[in-house]
Structure 1
């Protein structure tokens, strides 16, 4: 019995209590029943023991964290394999990305097709003459959130086999996101891939040409490997920051995404309203070396100019002078400043902040060193209005222009349109909305300018009155 307990802990007490029954019960049926029970018990312990022995000494295993992009690489590859379609336990989701279209319209039969992936169990499959095991579980994580865990193993002791498989998953994933810009958002203090957008060509972003060339040239020079060496030899932090400011609808966000596509960079979007000091520090520490950190509408995040900088500094310190979270549980200004240019800020990152009201920002946030270039975006002037017109009514495209319009008349029609639209009064987004509403006929667009201008101006007057009433109510509180 002691030898049996050495190999199968806990089995000896059960067998010792059943041994008198085997020797003292005269009935053959009783002995047979006890023997069958012992065999089942022995089989249970033996299977667990040999299973752990096999997993410990004769298999290789790689675990993939849910919060890492490698998790998506593995899951996308697994879902493309035949064994995934035969899994007995699957997770079903609506696949909005692979809808098929016919004649520009989505086929009713293929509308909201379902996407299946193995879940809560093990799946065995052969790949390149090796037997692999894919395991995926869904557990209840912190604060009630569902967290997933995935791992892949194979029967063998060479870990390079698993690494080659994951490299195949990586190549498959990169093929899916080719010509796309990967956007990451945060869940708590972890980055998670959010969506992949088609790369937007820089020619489709209608802003001042000189401004665009200057900004692209500066980003290209910064990302040049020679520039990194230049910064390193002088002991300077290899980082770059831009502030894009101007009225809404002037192309700040569009230009940010186009820059990411132009230089094949991933975009990490920060939503300051849902963060605290600890989460912000952790997120910046986990940024890759080459990426774009996008902080949109920074003036609306609560990071404003303070009236008393000393008071602000004292409020950001807790007992013994240690940093503490702001009173409302949000990000404090001191923490934001530290992560932008502190030791935890990653090398090679490009920070882009956008704002509609630069006057509301604290000077410490946009001082040189944190913001290397401030770029002002203006309302549409003559050249931009002309670019927008030819962007919609491209004379070299195959788009059919209805009515009596002809592509030969486009230059003259563009001059008429530019002459009717006031300069530096409307944003490119507002002008684009007019052109898109009349995309089949440039003459209709020209004829609609007066009505459109009156409507936009009336909307602005209503918005101004609403804001003034809100300010009066606040003054009376």
Structure 2
């Protein structure tokens, strides 16, 4: 029986040795027959035509004159070896082609698809990946966050290995598979990665079961995480998976938070979708979070995604043009959050001739400087071809800079203002930092209640010393984290801290 190792060795040996030795054979044979210029090829004029039907025939027949007319036995020997290797090369390619055509089932996975992350996550955990002779080595920066152990030299910046560039054979549940990973050059000097998995058999169900196992493994890895997607050209790619942030840890106005969560929950309800569909209304929802810097706009958007178990697709429109923006929106899934951060700072331009309503015929106008035009942005948000089921969250520090057409009702359904810290938020921030006991401390319930009551009093004292509406939650948090082990010191230093912030402003 042809084992994976023997198959791999035979295939690689033939391809590698042939490509290097044939040229050497010709060179040495030519040197030994330098005086045999009178020998003519046996076949001449018909070689180009025959070569179309029998690839390599021209190279093979060019050896025959050297073989018959060589004066040296070494020249003939080299010619015979070269001919055998040449024939072996094409025989092996023919056999491989027949196997791939009639006896092998194969799937290809795009490198910028989520299925690629699912497959590579599973492959990297398999024994054959660790034994691969050609590997892609990266620093696993996430290992320390997944482990509960101390940050010792043993687990700090551990190395992550995955198979790279070549065929890798493995057995799984009694079936033989081949994993191929390669890179190819594309336009502008960029590389494109190609990944495929082959199964030595006709039953495609075996491959689908393997990929489903990869999917289940991946979902376990990203459980309690929020997948954040970035864009690469005109395609989405999974850039990172963040730990889900509980909405209770985002300190904003509680009434605003409850209203926003309730509205998103109602929109995602299956009955709501049926209601929209029955009335022919586009099933879309848009929100604008605005307010001073540091008030928690982006944090609130990510916590909403984690709360409803939605993926986040982040658009950086300064690196996009009209065509790429439309292509990215066309590939959005039905249930997701599209996050447009700092929409006021994005290079969105209204065309010079765009003096009418941008929503009318706006898709026909193009940007002259390679940036996203306002008309195209408006069209992808609520145009005829805009995807349904997604939640768009836009954030801005300066709502007055936004074009009224961008935030009109229908594109932005709810505008939420996040303000600077008031007395209630100041107390919540203080208690959030100092009032939560670590589960590993072993403190009794009575002691925990007593400490919480003490922290509530200190939180009120802290809130009384800080004027409301003067500092952002992010600024307050920076002070509290400096003194995270000493709540009394945080209260004592708050006056000096406020003077310092005032001088910096």
- The residue number in structure 2 matching 1:227 is 272
Matched, 1:208 2:253: yes
- The residue number in structure 2 matching 1:345 is 386
Distance in 2, matches of 1:141 and 1:200, equals 39
- The residue number in structure 1 matching 2:28 is none
Q: Secondary structure at the match of 2:143?
A: coil
Matched, 1:39 2:84: yes
Q: Shift of residue 429 of structure 1?
A: 1.2
Alpha-carbon contact 1:8-1:46 (below 8 Å) kept: no
Distance in 1, matches of 2:378 and 2:146, equals 48
- The residue number in structure 2 matching 1:388 is 429
- The residue number in structure 2 matching 1:368 is 409
Matched, 1:56 2:101: yes
Superposed CA deviations along residues 121-176 of structure 1, whole A, max 9, x for unmatched, are: 11011111111111101222222122211111111111111111111111111111
Distance in 2, matches of 1:24 and 1:101, equals 71
Q: Secondary structure at the match of 1:147?
A: strand
Q: Cα RMSD over matched residues?
A: 3.1
Please give the TM-score of this superposition, normalised by the length of structure 2. 0.82
Alignment of 1:375-414 (within 5 A): 375-394=416-435, 396-397=437-438, 408-414=453-459
Q: 1:100 to 1:441 in 2, by over 3 A?
A: closer
- The residue number in structure 2 matching 1:302 is 347
Superposed CA deviations along residues 422-446 of structure 1, whole A, max 9, x for unmatched, are: 1111111111112212222222121
Alpha-carbon contact 1:138-1:146 (below 8 Å) kept: yes
Alpha-carbon contact 2:236-2:328 (below 8 Å) kept: yes
Q: 1:213 to 1:307 in 2, by over 3 A?
A: farther
Alpha-carbon contact 2:60-2:86 (below 8 Å) kept: no
Alignment of 1:437-456 (within 5 A): 437-456=482-501
Q: 1:176 to 1:455 in 2, by over 3 A?
A: same
Please give the TM-score of this superposition, normalised by the length of structure 1. 0.86
Q: Secondary structure at the match of 1:91?
A: strand
Q: 1:362 to 1:42 in 2, by over 3 A?
A: same
Alpha-carbon contact 2:322-2:376 (below 8 Å) kept: yes
Q: Secondary structure at the match of 2:100?
A: helix
Matched, 1:111 2:162: no
Match of 1:276 among 321, 332, 337: 321
Q: 1:421 to 1:9 in 2, by over 3 A?
A: same
Q: Shift of residue 458 of structure 1?
A: 1.5
**Greater CA deviation, 183-192 or 431-440?**
431-440
Match of 1:428 among 443, 451, 473: 473
Q: Shift of residue 110 of structure 1?
A: 3.1
Distance in 1, matches of 2:251 and 2:215, equals 35
Q: 1:48 to 1:441 in 2, by over 3 A?
A: same
Alpha-carbon contact 1:123-1:133 (below 8 Å) kept: yes
Superposed CA deviations along residues 170-225 of structure 1, whole A, max 9, x for unmatched, are: 11111111100000111121111111100001110111111111100000000011
Alpha-carbon contact 1:395-1:410 (below 8 Å) kept: no
Q: 1:457 to 1:80 in 2, by over 3 A?
A: same
- The residue number in structure 1 matching 2:137 is 92
- The residue number in structure 2 matching 1:472 is none
Distance in 2, matches of 1:109 and 1:418, equals 44
Q: Which runs of 5+ in 2 are unaligned?
A: 1-42, 444-449
Distance in 2, matches of 1:291 and 1:381, equals 32
Q: Shift of residue 306 of structure 1?
A: 9.6
Alpha-carbon contact 2:227-2:311 (below 8 Å) kept: yes
Q: 1:322 to 1:238 in 2, by over 3 A?
A: closer
Matched, 1:130 2:130: no
Distance in 2, matches of 1:103 and 1:225, equals 39
Q: 1:33 to 1:76 in 2, by over 3 A?
A: same
Q: 1:187 to 1:102 in 2, by over 3 A?
A: closer
Q: 1:8 to 1:250 in 2, by over 3 A?
A: same
- The residue number in structure 1 matching 2:334 is 289
Alpha-carbon contact 2:341-2:395 (below 8 Å) kept: yes
Q: 1:52 to 1:393 in 2, by over 3 A?
A: same
Q: Which runs of 5+ in 1 are unaligned?
A: 461-477
